[in-house]
Copies of this chain bind each other. A is one copy, B any other.
């Protein structure tokens, strides 16, 4: 296309616009005037080597010259620009795949090539944040067909990098769809499974709508920012890894989607399945356990919904040539006592060390999941798997293996303490009969989790516990006094986070 070209000199503005690239141009610059550019116009920037679509903010101030184009941090980075470099500016081309998003909004099923185009454009940063929000909202809430989810999964794999581990090898993985505070089984399961010789190169995401993801939790103890070579080295040494998936670009489109899902606090079914399976496939996994907790305030609320989701996961996995086994678990209450990255890390260490005060629910669930991996491997049954997992844990092999993985990933980090804490004490004797998982998660997030690793809370009791006057219910941790106060305001406004019965 023979576009009229105009150039301006790049200036790094030092403004962090998160992941949406923004350019700043003077209202009176010749390009704004001749091209009729106004704020929020989508424009195409080109240097000799790169191009990028950005959102325009028009400026009327003397901090920028009319001959300059200011770039936000992410725009400057993605354009791989240097100060004063010439940047050619034109109207953004029509992004054809947006018409498929509209088609989806209006209820039509999308075909493979349409979904591929959408995901390719998203991974190339051709969508604005509101366009991504629109796509996600149109697809959330069981609005994607099984075929669409398969296409979405394949499209996500296609636009990222792939790990490969040689043919004929069984590569294991496990994933929990989340929704339950705490529940940080992954590092324990990976340690048990790999101690037994299973290959389990685990790449995890950060939290989407929860107070911690496995990557956030592992970050308290280890280096998780591994590149592909580092992951391969760690797996060669230990059969496993516990790395952050985002650093290896396994599914760049998914990272873009997750950012907006987090801001909108939605996590749709099709998106969820494609997000999970695309990362497993890209990581080269061939045998995958999916943990689906079910509870009144968990992500999945009924056995029926769980069964539907399990069936979809399995079918989409088959269509994408991997074996998926779903296990439906108790999601009625938190698992473990810690909520938030550091507090969950403490639970993991105590289970691995077989400490007396280790949360037994976290231990039992980890053993059950490891048993399923063993059963997928050799078909000897869950009971035999459970025995094997228990002996590996109790013998200290799992702890040894966990430490070996951490060292292979780099230096071991020490846990730090939050600068503020508050302990809630019971004013009566009663039984804790219910915890609202969603509100509990929000409570921990308001305190600063997962962005602040030390923030979160520790439960001193769980559903079913008796409490006496003066006994501690929970301790809240935060690195920010403001967030602490804010979280406590929320707690006092929401008396139903913990429900007691006299």
Question: Which A residues are closer than 8 A to B by beta carbons?
Answer: 1-4, 6, 13-18, 24, 27, 31, 34-36, 38-40, 57-61, 63, 72, 90-91, 94, 98, 102, 105-107, 128-138, 140-142, 260, 263-266, 268, 442, 446, 448, 451-452, 479-483, 485-486, 489-490, 493
User: Which 3 A-B residue pairings sit nearest by Cβ, starting from the closest?
Assistant: A14-B61, A137-B137, A130-B133
A486 and B91 form a contact (CB under 8 A): yes
Q: Are B102 and A486 within 8 A (Cβ)?
A: no
**Which of B58, B263, B481, B489 contacts A2 (CB under 8 A)?**
B489
CB neighbours of A129 from chain B (8 A): 129-130
Chain B residues with CB under 8 A of A3: 482, 485-486, 489
Contact at A142–B480, with CB atoms within 8 Å?
no
Of the residues B39, B107, B490, contact of A18 by C-beta under 8 Å: B39
Q: Which of B16, B135, B480 contacts A59 (CB 8 A)?
A: B16
> How far does the Cβ of A484 sit from chain B's closest Cβ, in whole Å?
9
Q: A4-B486, A36-B452, A91-B482 are in contact. Are A266 and B134 (CB under 8 A)?
A: yes
The answer on a CB contact under 8 Å between B131 and A264 is yes
Contact indicator A482/B141 (Cβ below 8 Å): no
Judge whether A91 and B134 touch: CB under 8 Å: no
B482 close to A105 (CB less than 8 A) = no
B107 A141 Cβ-Cβ under 8 A: yes
For the A-B complex with A16-B59, A40-B263 known, give 12 more contacts whose Cβ atoms are closer than 8 Å.
Answer: A1-B493, A14-B59, A18-B40, A36-B448, A36-B482, A91-B486, A105-B266, A105-B268, A107-B141, A128-B263, A134-B136, A134-B264
Residues of chain B within 8 A (CB-CB) of A481 are 4, 34
Contact A107–B6 (Cβ < 8 Å): no
Q: Within 8 Å CB of A452, what residues of B?
A: 36
The complex places the Cα of A34 from the Cα of B130 at a distance, in Å, of: 30
B residues near A91, Cβ cutoff 8 Å? 446, 482-483, 486
- Flag if A58 contacts B486 (CB, 8 Å): no
User: Given the complex of chains A and B, what is the CA–CA distance between A4 and B481 in angstroms?
Assistant: 8
Q: From DSSP, what is the main secondary structure of chain A's interface residues? A: mixed
Contact B6 A36 (CB under 8 A): no
Q: Which of B16, B31, B58, B142 is the one whose CB lies under 8 Å from A57? A: B16
Inter-chain contact B264/A34, CB cutoff 8 Å: no
Whether B133 and A485, one on each chain, are in contact in the complex, defined by CB atoms closer than 8 angstroms, is no
Q: Which residue of chain B has the shortest Cβ distance to A89 in the bound complex?
A: B482
Distance in Å: Cβ of A358 to nearest Cβ of chain B: 30
User: A91–B448 Cα gap in the complex (Å)?
Assistant: 11
- Residue in B closest to A452 when the chains form the complex, CB atoms: B36
A216 shortest CB reach to chain B, Å: 14
Q: How far apart sit A319 and B134, CA to CA, in the bound complex (Å)?
A: 30
Instruction: List B contacts of A448 (CB < 8 A).
Output: 36
Decide: B265 and A102 in contact? CB cutoff 8 A.
yes
Cβ-closest chain B residue relative to A140 = B105
Contact of A39 among B17, B35, B39 (CB under 8 A): B17
Q: Which chain B residue has the least Cβ–Cβ distance from A442?
A: B94
Pick from B35, B72, B102: contact of A480, CB below 8 A: B35
CB-nearest residue of chain B to A448: B36
Cβ contact within 8 Å between A107 and B57: no
Q: Closest approach, in angstroms, between the C-beta of A263 and any C-beta of chain B?
A: 6
Beta-carbon nearest neighbor of A487 in chain B: B91
Point out the residue from B58, B142, B446 that lies within 8 Å of A107, measured CB to CB: B142
Q: Check A36–B105 contact: CB distance below 8 A.
A: no
Chain B nearest CB, measured from A108 CB (Å): 9
CB distance from A154 to the nearest CB of B (A): 24
- Complex contacts, A24 vs chain B, CB 8 Å: 15
